[in-house]
């Protein structure tokens, strides 16, 4: 069954996302193999509820792919190519930055723990 979308709703969503506030996130670490300090940074916007739902539904199958998909949907388009190159070289950054964005949006691994 083909899904149909109201063109006005899609247009409004597109405009809302373009107006979203982007915040810079960075992660620094020592690359022991190259013996150098590495800092990876990019601007991201807060994920929408639909993006969270999509991530949650796909995280069971592949947490890394779900994190990557989330980040690719919320990274600023001007930062996308550099961020892709950085994460190609350092793939662990994907889960690290996705975790920070999730925590900044109210998610916590401490839920239900004292």
Q: Give the tens place of pLDDT for each residue, 6-46.
A: 444 444 444 555 557 999 999 999 999 999 999 999 999 99
Q: What is the pLDDT of residue 114?
A: 54
Confirm whether 25 is domain-assigned. yes
Confirm whether 109 is domain-assigned. no
For 57, counting Cβ atoms within 10 Å of its Cβ (0-12 exposed, 13-18 middle, 19+ buried), the class is exposed
The CATH number linked to 69 is 3.30.2220.10
The boundaries of the domain holding residue 31 are 21-104
Total domain count for the chain? 1
Confirm whether 3 is domain-assigned. no
Confirm whether 52 is domain-assigned. yes
pLDDT in tens, 45-54: 999 999 989 9
Split at pLDDT 50, 70, 90, the class of 111 is: low
Confirm whether 9 is domain-assigned. no
Q: What is the pLDDT of residue 20?
A: 74
């Amino acid at each position: 069954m083909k899904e149909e979308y109201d063109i006005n709703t899609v247009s409004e969503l597109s405009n809302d996302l373009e107006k979203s506030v982007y915040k810079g996130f960075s992660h620094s670490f020592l690359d022991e193999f190259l013996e150098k300090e590495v800092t990876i940074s990019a601007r991201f916007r807060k994920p929408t509820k639909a993006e969270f739902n999509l991530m949650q539904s796909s995280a069971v199958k592949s947490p890394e792919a779900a994190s990557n998909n989330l980040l690719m949907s919320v990274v600023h388009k001007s930062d996308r190519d550099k961020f892709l190159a950085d994460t190609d070289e350092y793939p662990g950054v994907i889960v690290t930055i996705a975790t920070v964005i999730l925590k900044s949006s109210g998610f916590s691994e401490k839920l239900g723990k004292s």
